[in-house]
């Protein structure tokens, strides 16, 4: 069988053995919960509770502002302790609601059970919007926006991203093993939203048990298939998935809908199913806690707002002082400088690495070997973009396609000189975007 793939890429050690056989465990934390009003791309929410208010599980505490926004709900019952700007995993201070957890987890109301077969696409989108669901793969784009492409962009391919190519992370893998029928039900909801599309469940070939489970769950679903991908990083990238599965390229500066495609993450589909079928809002997510500095690596179902510190403690704490703690995986995750930040909708993993696992290598001069060019899945020249960035030549950076960089880190991983290629591209992109904002 031919394995689907894309051009370029790299093969970093996947290190999934730490948690791939660890079933999902529920974490019931007792500390204060912190809910940033900006857990998504777009306008932050406005708090709709005040200090001293008692709130319940599933009660809305953040009202979306503007068309691109996603509601925030309390995942615990308790009392609003504070509303202030507080640090988040990306390192920014964001207006947040702090709730003192009473440990009772009282629900705001009973969940509803409903059939989705008779619901129109716009009704389904409204349910998804109201639940505050975002892309759980890390981008955190509001799901209802992604599922509402322009009328002149017909969608004929819906792709569920089950690749999970980021090293260490196994949360989606465990979901496919433990909840395949619910993911399949979510797939049927997506097909109802896009009645002219074929749905692809895309999984890398290093996950044979997930392929088997999802193939069984998809039996009897018309217009759907399980597609096997070649194991390669970043196979789970949106544009790379579209090329591998649909054989299409997303034009520069355009969106997947311009190629007739919608891509969504496995856990997002699970959340969509819960919202539509049970009425459950987005309250938790599966977090992989791993790395050689963690005592007992695990996959945990964590309520949003839980402190990273409590999550690490639930995994036994550290066996050695970590030199780096990441929100997400080692390739595209963000290094955090404090464990006193909350789990948010985009927290797929917490990875703690020792100095042995994450050595701070000295950067050497470029030797023009071209390995970064071979690895770049976007067909860019990372060595050139690096030079332009270091010279602050942002016009040259843009003209050489720098804004198309997906910041996957394949170039840095392959570079024998340990050049900080992806970091310099990221900084240049931020500078370009900041300049564009200043110009309006």
The binding site comprises: 366, 369, 372, 376, 405, 408, 411, 415
* 60 and 99 Cβ atoms separated by less than 8 Å: no
* 308 and 164 Cβ atoms separated by less than 8 Å: no
Q: How far is CA 101 from CA 50, 104, 106, 143, in A?
A: 16, 8, 11, 28
* 77 and 105 Cβ atoms separated by less than 8 Å: yes
Cβ burial, residue 361 (10 Å; 0-12/13-18/19+):
exposed
DSSP state of 124: H
β partners of residue 228: 203
Phi, psi of 193 (to 5 degrees): -70, -35
Q: How far is CA 233 from CA 11, 48, 408, 411, in A?
A: 6, 42, 8, 11
Q: Which residues are annotated as a binding site for [4Fe-4S] cluster?
A: 366, 369, 372, 376, 405, 408, 411, 415
Determine the Cα–Cα distance for residues 249 and 347; give it in Å rounded to an integer.
Answer: 28
Q: Is the peptide bond before 234 cis (omega within 30 degrees of 0)?
A: yes
Determine the Cα–Cα distance for residues 435 and 440; give it in Å rounded to an integer.
Answer: 9
Q: Which run of H or of E encompasses 287? A: strand 284-290
Q: What angle do CA 219, 224, 230 make, to 5 degrees?
A: 100
Tokens of 325: 């703690």
Q: Which long-range contacts (CB under 8 A, 24 or more apart) does 175-179 make?
A: 175/24, 175/266, 175/267, 175/270, 175/286, 176/203, 176/207, 176/210, 176/213, 176/214, 176/266, 177/209, 177/210, 177/213, 178/23, 178/24, 179/270
> Residue 26's CB: how many other CB atoms inside 10 A?
10
Chain-centre distance for alpha carbon 4: 22
* 307 and 31 Cβ atoms separated by less than 8 Å: yes
* 408 and 414 Cβ atoms separated by less than 8 Å: no
């Amino acid at each position: 069988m031919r394995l689907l793939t894309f051009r370029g890429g790299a093969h970093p050690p996947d290190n999934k053995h730490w948690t791939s056989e660890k079933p999902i465990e529920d974490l019931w934390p007792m500390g204060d919960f912190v809910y940033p009003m900006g857990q998504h791309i777009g306008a932050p929410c406005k708090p709709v509770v005040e200090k001293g208010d008692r709130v319940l599980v599933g009660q809305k505490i953040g009202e979306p502002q503007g068309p691109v926004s996603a509601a925030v709900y309390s995942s615990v019952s308790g009392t609003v302790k504070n509303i202030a700007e507080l640090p988040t995993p990306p390192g920014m201070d964001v207006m947040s609601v702090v709730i003192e957890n009473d440990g009772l987890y009282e629900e705001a109301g009973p969940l509803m059970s409903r059939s989705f077969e008779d619901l129109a696409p716009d009704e389904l989108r409204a349910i998804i919007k109201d639940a505050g669901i975002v892309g759980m793969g890390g981008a955190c784009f509001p799901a209802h926006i992604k599922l509402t492409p322009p009328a002149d962009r017909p969608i004929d391919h819906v792709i569920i991203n089950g690749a999970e190519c980021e090293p260490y992370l196994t949360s989606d893998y465990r979901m496919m093993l433990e909840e395949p029928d619910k993911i399949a039900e979510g797939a049927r909801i997506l097909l109802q939203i896009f009645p002219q599309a074929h749905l692809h469940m895309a999984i890398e070939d290093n996950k044979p048990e997930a392929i088997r489970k999802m193939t069984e769950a998809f039996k009897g679903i018309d217009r759907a298939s399980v597609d096997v991908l070649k194991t390669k990083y970043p196979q789970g990238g949106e544009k790379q998935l579209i090329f591998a599965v649909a054989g299409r390229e997303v034009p520069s500066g355009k969106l997947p809908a311009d190629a007739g495609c919608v891509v969504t993450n496995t856990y997002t589909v699970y959340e969509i199913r819960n919202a539509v079928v049970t009425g459950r809002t987005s309250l938790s997510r599966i977090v992989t806690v791993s790395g050689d500095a963690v005592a007992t690596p695990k996959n945990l179902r964590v309520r949003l707002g839980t402190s990273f510190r409590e999550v690490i403690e639930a995994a036994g704490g550290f066996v050695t002082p970590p030199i780096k703690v990441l929100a997400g995986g080692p390739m595209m995750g963000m290094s955090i400088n404090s464990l006193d930040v909350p789990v948010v909708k985009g927290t797929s993993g917490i990875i703690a690495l020792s100095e042995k696992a994450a050595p701070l290598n000295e950067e050497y001069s470029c030797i023009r070997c071209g390995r970064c060019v071979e690895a770049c899945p976007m067909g860019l020249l990372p060595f050139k973009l690096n030079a332009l960035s270091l010279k602050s030549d942002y016009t040259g950076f843009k003209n050489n396609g720098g804004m198309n960089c997906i910041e996957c880190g394949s170039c840095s991983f392959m570079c024998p000189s340990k050049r900080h290629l992806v970091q310099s591209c990221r900084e240049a992109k931020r500078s370009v975007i900041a300049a564009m904002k200043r110009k309006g």
